[in-house]
Amino acid sequence: MKKIGIKLLHDDEAEGSIKIAPGFTDNSIIFQLDSLQDWIGDLQTLYNSKMDEFKEYAESLNKNNEGN
């Protein structure tokens, strides 16, 4: 198994991008599509988890501000 097919990058302004490893496109299109679908699913799961964390954080801020 190759360890890296794409790299997920971010800068100090929270702008994200991807970098595709040269060997990734040497694989069949079905392989590429399957890998991309898996990564998208994993990223969507991570995004949803972080969004839940953010909502909890925002709710705690609102509760703290209600007491002022």
Q: What is the mean pLDDT of each run of 10 residues along the chain (68 residues)?
A: 81 95 91 95 98 95 82
Tell me, yes or no, whether 42 lies in a domain: yes
Range of the domain at 44: 27-68
Tell me, yes or no, whether 4 lies in a domain: no
Tell me, yes or no, whether 32 lies in a domain: yes
Query: How far apart (Å, rounded) are the C-alpha atoms in residues 55 and 34?
Result: 32
* Residue in 35, 39, 40 with CA at minimum distance from that of residue 23: 35
Tell me, yes or no, whether 52 lies in a domain: yes
What are the residues whose beta carbons fall under 8 Å from the beta carbon of 54, sequence distance 6 or more? Answer: none
Tell me, yes or no, whether 62 lies in a domain: yes
pLDDT of residue 1: 66
**Structural domain tally of the chain?**
1
Tell me, yes or no, whether 11 lies in a domain: no
Tell me, yes or no, whether 16 lies in a domain: no
Model pTM greater than 0.75? yes
Report the run of H or E that residue 27 belongs to, with start and end: none
Tell me, yes or no, whether 19 lies in a domain: no
